[in-house]
Structure 1
Amino acid sequence: MDSALYADLTLQSHEGQRQATLRMDGKADSNEDMSCTSKKNVRCSFSQWLLVGSLLLLLICVALTAAMFPYYLQVGSHLRRAEEEVETLRTNSSHWLDELEMAQEYGLLVQKNLSSVQREYRSLHEVILPRLLYNQTQRRKELTAIERQRQELRLNLSKLQEEYRSLREKNILVPWSSELLMSCTGVGQESAILCPFCPPGWRVFELSCYLLSEDAQNWEESLSWCRMKGGYLAVINDEDEQDFLEGFLNDTAWIGLSDHRREGNWRWVDETPYESTTWFWQPDQPDNDGDEDCVSLSPASKCSDDKCGEKYTSACERRAERLTLNGSVLSN
């Protein structure tokens, strides 16, 4: 745009010079035939000076135009920049207006949220806070009651520990899984429970203990072996005991019954009275076949008389040790 304006001004300057030259040439041509006479010297001189002044004025204008042209260009550049800045400001103003609208909408939203928060605050202050204070008071009371109960429990625990130490000094603690309590029965006095128990290796049944020898011996040797173990050859008092022994035996064994002192006079080794019953003997027994004076018992079978020199295992019996369980106190 600056170059076009410069070209326009230059063209106007050249056109003015050309017209002035034409005028001067025309005047010169018209005055060639004229001669400046003395009468007209003053007029001719004025015209010449007027022409010279016009030329000077034209040159001054051209010079001023040439001198002012850069300033004109600079002013035009400033004007264009100003127009661009105005356009930028106009665009920014549009953006600022949009942002202002958004800010106003956001302000309305914030105001609504503030109103909601204020309502919640009033609800909290008027309803929830008193309820929380009431619950806190109740919790404090409950904690006080719990602390009181805890102190009472701690006191009771101290008393129980003291009683426990005292009982431990005077008694032996027996766990419920102990073998001493495995054979407890309801037989006893009043509410007490009777608990029979046997030495290691012996097996308890009702109120007696039973033991089988590993080696086979004759009846007399079996009698001595059982006495050495602290018992005697087994004495059968009822059918339940006989059924137990028949299941307890692994092989034929001697029991504590014989008539070796007098034939047919059967006697138990512990002097228990003998009464002949059908459940005791095997069929057709005793038959005293070949001087059979001692009695043996076979597994899952009945008793039979046998020669006392035969070698069988020994079925020993002894009285079970007994403890009385009264509540949780075990005593002898």
Structure 2
Amino acid sequence: MFSTTVLPAIIFLTLTLLYPSNGQLNATFYSNTCPNVLSIVKNAVQQALQSDSRVGASLLRLHFHDCIVNGCDASILLDQGGNITQSEKDAAPNSNSIRGLDVIDNIKSSLESSCSGVVSCADIVALAAESSVSLSGGPSWNVLLGRRDSLTANQAGANNLIPSPFESLAQITTKFSNVGLDTTDLVALSGAHTFGRARCQLFSQRLFNFSGSGSPDPTLNSTYLATLQQNCPQNGNGSTLNNFDPSTPDTFDNNYFSNLLINMGLLQTDQELLSTNGSSTISIVNNFANNQTAFFNQFAQSMINMGNISPLTGNQGEIRIDCKKVNGS
């Protein structure tokens, strides 16, 4: 029933679907070359969480700050030195704030002992983010793997491409769109602020002199405002940490969205998801606030979408032996 030209084409298509090419990420990439990779990463993250409750949120943030700049390529891990004249670690959004680097190094060391030169640092960061979420009560997902590590860093990109807590919703939406993430991804990934901490300096302008008005941000819940003003007094220590979610600060749940409904978003960019009149983000926030399952399902999908931003695959880049430096440097 099939011509001699059609049948081979169908066979080729079937094989392509069953066996993805080197240019595609897939969840079983290390099944033969490093079958214990998932358990090694999860055990290391679990151990880290026992001594540092903040590290889960920090590892998730590390993955986002890596992917948003030139794709998920572990460029954020590179120290200055050799051919790396400017490290992304020293960019404004990362300097003195990115954490969990020691956990990544520990995982890399364990993997090098188990399967040397096989697992990329970029994949380690992606796997550590998933473990951080699932071990903190959030969803689990099959992390697509097969990324390779960059040979360069982009400090200017880190300064300009990573969303800032002082930007408008429109500006942040554009940054997400530029890397292929839509509004639903934006709202779901913002839900990562359901755990973790933020320094006073990232939102203190809302507490006393919002937009130069001499008054607090009118969208802030008055009781919450008083608490934040006490934690972050005018001319106080801007590095003081505050929980994103006052009720369950180390648990991954949908309280972030419930908090937005009562004007308890910590960052201006958090609350703007709900307070921006006419924004398509409002209905998404309401849905996630009332349906944790919907949030968890979308967050998992949005993390997969984010993990697919411009990965290096095949013969691109390299598998770093030390995540902090390019091989041979």
Bin of the TM-score, shorter chain as denominator length:
under 0.3
Q: What TM-score comes out, normalization by structure 1 length? A: 0.20
What TM-score, normalized by structure 2, do the two folds share?
0.21
Higher relative contact order (CA 8 A, sep 6+): 2
Greater strand proportion: 1
